[in-house]
Structure formats: structure tokens, C-alpha cells
């Protein structure tokens, strides 16, 4: 059986790989080959560290938890609609210029949209 830290890392990676659909706690321990007691301890630890959230779920007449990642890794898709990529002002845009990311409405709107979207996908309130 893997060491606890290694087990924790594998568990977190598995949860992240399942993305927004989450993974049942019972299913996770079966896949990783651990006991449900150890699994519960690690899920609580990951939750305490702010890396995952747990939601109670009834599955086949038994209560378990569905585990969701708090953060997902960035992908190239996540910036595909960034306004800077097609911006006609990009060559003049910079911190020493009148046109800059610090005062750009298009960039601010896009970032706010991303933040709102991420919060609703991860179930943050």
C-alpha cells in the first residue's frame, strides 16, 4: 500500500481528473486500493487543506460523499476567448502606456466573467 502522502497525492489527482462531475468517495478508494477508513481520513484532510469539497450523496441506499476539486488546472481553452489575443491595441498595450491591462474594460469584464463562472461551476457561494 502507498505511503499516506503518496496516497493523498494520488487521491487528489484522481479527484481533479474527474473535474466538475466529482467522484464518489467509495469509488475513489476502490480505484486506489485503500480502506474506506483511511479514505475518509484523507478526504477530510484534503478538505481541511481547502483542496476539495465534499457533498453528501445517497448511493445504492447508503450515504457517502461526492468529492470535488476546489481548483482545476488551467488549460489552453481557458484563455481562448481572452480579449488580448485578438486585440488591435495589443502592440501599444503595456504598463508604461495609456492603454494597459490595469485600465482595460474588456480585460476586466472578461476576468469578472471567468470568476463568476468558476464560482458557479465549483459550487462556491
3-state SS, residue 60: coil
Does the footprint of ligand SF4 cover residue 87 (CB under 6 A)?
A: yes
Least Å from the CB of residue 71 to ligand SF4: 24
Nearer to ligand SF4, 33 or 94 (CB): 94
Burial code of 45-59, b = ≥16 C-beta within 10 A, e = fewer? ebeeeebbbbeeeee
Pick one of 93, 111, 114, 122: the residue that binds ligand SF4 (CB under 6 A): 93
Q: Which of 39, 41, 40, 46 is nearest to 12 (CA)?
A: 46
Least Å from the CB of residue 80 to ligand SF4: 14
Least Å from the CB of residue 96 to ligand SF4: 13
Amino acid at each position: 500500500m502507498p505511503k499516506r502522502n503518496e496516497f493523498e497525492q494520488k487521491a487528489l489527482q484522481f479527484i481533479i481528473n474527474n473535474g466538475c462531475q466529482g467522484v464518489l468517495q467509495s469509488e475513489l478508494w476502490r480505484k486506489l486500493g485503500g480502506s474506506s477508513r483511511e479514505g475518509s481520513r484523507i478526504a477530510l484532510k484534503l478538505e481541511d487543506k481547502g483542496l476539495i469539497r465534499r457533498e453528501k450523496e445517497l448511493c445504492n441506499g447508503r450515504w457517502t460523499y461526492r468529492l470535488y476539486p476546489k481548483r482545476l488546472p488551467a488549460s489552453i481553452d481557458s484563455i481562448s476567448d481572452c480579449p488580448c489575443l485578438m486585440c488591435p491595441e495589443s502592440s501599444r498595450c503595456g504598463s508604461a502606456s495609456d492603454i494597459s491591462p490595469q485600465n482595460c474594460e474588456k480585460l476586466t469584464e472578461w476576468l469578472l466573467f471567468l470568476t463568476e463562472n468558476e464560482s458557479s461551476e465549483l459550487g462556491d457561494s
